[in-house]
Amino acid sequence: MAGILSYGAYIPYYRLPRNVISKAWGQRGGSGEKAVANYDEDSITMSVAAGIDCLKGTDPKTVDALFMATTTAPYKERQNSTIVATALDLRRETRNADFANCLRAGTIAMLSANDAVNANSVKNVLVTAADMRMGGASGENEQAFGDGSAALLLGHGKVAVEIEGSYTLSDDLADNWRAHDDIFVRSWEDRFGLDEGYMKIPVEAASGVMKKYNLAPKDFAKACFYGPHGRRHSDLGRKMGFDAEQIQGPLLDMVGNTGAALPLMVLVAALEEATAGDRILLVSYGNGSDAIVLRVTGEIENIRNRRGIKNHLGIKRTLDSYERYLRWRGMVSLEAAARPERPPTSMSALWREHNTAIPLYGVKCKKCGTPQMFYNLDSTRSRICIECKAKDEFEPYRFADKGGKIVTFSQDYLSLSQDPPNTLTVVDFEGGGRGSFEMTDRDPAECKVGMPVEMTFRKMFFDRGIHNYFWKCKPARD
């Protein structure tokens, strides 16, 4: 039986308190906070972050496929999952797939992965689910939505969680939707969505799966399911027949509704506390409902060292400026800085760089052993060793997973940045090698020569239809 071999998750560093949003609009209330992705993050970068967490202890070259689930893919024509797979250093011979356009995309990807593994088409699949949905300013969706991601590695063998079975209903009920041009999620009045959709269909799916496998609510240690709001979420749990202790906290209060990622993020939170023998019900919702029955095995103890949900909940900084959020999301037209326009990005040059720049590979000189990363400002491929000057005598050397220390830094207020100042750094890596990177997810005041950093996959800029991805450094916080 196929199952889950490993899990991972990611919650962005910044949290915007809901009352800060309310205050900006002269509205009352707003409790808790929502996780907001930085200006340099998107569903691709968050999928990479969760993927890195999940692949701890697994050689990425042994992964046969990456299924990426999201409703907020950066590209409509260009395979988003392969960008994620390249960053995670998967092989070329992989069955990658984008799962999109539905809030159930995460569980749909999970079920498809399960089928693929059970059919022996592939030996394993890395499933990622990420979302960065946007609500129009001053609205309820803006308050409720949050950003985040989760990842599951499905395969055979010593699985930590068995996938026992599932039941799916597909319904074209559009309580929330976005058409091809829409940036903000559209919602019909919420009474309709609740009465006909959320409070009905997941109940049918849950009871459907329980009937199919002869199970009752009492057979489950935890119920992990999607929810738009905290109160509705607990109402639904009760309606499904679960007690309060069985209902896994939906993260809505302190992270927000993370869309297609939410069911898998809630599942990861449950797995972090689960023990052998626990049966878990996973229910997603969005144009129907998937209900999946899972059973935890003793192997769960061997995959405890993930950042997952718990660790990320504690690593955070309050974003106390709604204006800054608007700036990050491009929701206001800013006055252009009097700085030169970027020269156009070259797709052919990016292709030449993609095997090194995207997974962050440099080289190690076979003659003198010096690790090195950059050739020049535009290239991560080297020809002449910086140390011994040997030509073309290199072996590949990955820098993405190495920690580093800050050699020097500056806060640059003049260079083009979406969120000034630009924190410039030079990083010396453990094991050798040096590179120059922007620092992200930081308060400029915390920069110090010698501080430890880790590498993170981010979007450098969007220009003329191209999302330019590369790596930045961020302070090591755990």
Q: How far is the CB of 407 from another protein (least distance, A)?
A: 6
Which of 340, 395, 465, 478 forms a contact with another protein (CB under 8 A)?
340
Q: Does 387 bind another protein (CB under 8 A)?
A: yes
411 touches another protein by CB under 8 A: yes
Contact between 244 and another protein by CB under 8 A: the answer reads: no
**Residue 388 contacts another protein per CB under 8 A:** no
Q: Which of 29, 314, 344, 465 binds another protein (CB under 8 A)?
A: 344
Write b or e for each residue in 326-342: b if 16 or more Cβ atoms lie within 10 A of its Cβ, otherwise e: eebbeeeeeeeeeeeee
Shortest Å distance, C-beta 188 to another protein: 43
Residue with tokens 């991972």: 8
Cα(81)–Cα(413) distance, integer angstroms? 35
Q: Find tokens 């109402």 and name the residue.
A: 235
Among 179, 244, 334, 338, binds another protein (CB under 8 A): 338
Stretch that binds another protein, among 16-24, 62-70, 168-176, 375-383 (CB under 8 A): 375-383
Interface segment toward another protein; rule CB under 8 A; list 53-61, 72-80, 220-228, 463-471 = 463-471
Task: Count the residues in the chain.
Answer: 478
Task: Tell me which stretch binds another protein (CB under 8 A): 20-28, 67-75, 280-288, 369-377.
Answer: 369-377
d(CA 383, CA 374): 10
Q: Is 390 in the site for another protein (CB under 8 A)?
A: no
Size of the site for another protein (CB under 8 A): 56
Whether 47 and 84 have beta carbons less than 8 Å apart is answered as yes
Which residues have C-beta within 8 Å of that of residue 418, sequence separation ≥ 6? 39, 40, 327, 328, 461
By CB under 8 A, which span of 5-13, 183-191, 324-332, 466-474 interacts with another protein? 466-474
Residue 5 gets which letter from DSSP? E
User: C-beta of 44: minimal distance to another protein in Å?
Assistant: 16
Q: Which of 346, 368, 391, 430 binds another protein (CB under 8 A)?
A: 346
Q: Are 167 and 293 in contact (CB under 8 A)?
A: no
Minimum CB distance to another protein, residue 377 (Å): 5
Task: Establish if 373 lies at the interface with another protein (CB under 8 A).
Answer: yes
The answer to whether the beta carbons of residues 162 and 192 sit under 8 Å apart is no
Told to check if 337 binds another protein by CB under 8 A, we report: yes
C-alpha count within 13 angstroms, C-beta hemisphere, residue 170:
4
In terms of Cβ atoms closer than 10 Å to its own Cβ (0-12, 13-18, 19+), residue 182 is exposed
Task: Show the tokens assigned to 385.
Answer: 């060793």
Q: Give the shortest CB-340-to-another protein separation in angstroms.
A: 4
For residue 75, what are its two tokens? 């590209």
**Residue of 416, 452, 462, 477 that binds another protein (CB under 8 A):** 416
- Which residue matches tokens 């995959």? 303
In the complex, minimum distance from the CB of residue 424 to another protein, in angstroms, rounded to a whole number: 5
Q: Rule CB under 8 A: is residue 392 a binding residue for another protein?
A: no
Beta bridge partners of 363: 372, 396
Measure the CA–CA gap between 3 and 156, rounded to whole angstroms. 6
Query: Quick one: tokens of 284?
Result: 């997603």
Residues that bind another protein (CB under 8 A): 337-346, 349-350, 353, 357, 370, 372-374, 376-378, 380, 386-387, 407-417, 421-426, 428, 432-438, 444, 449, 460, 463, 468, 470, 472
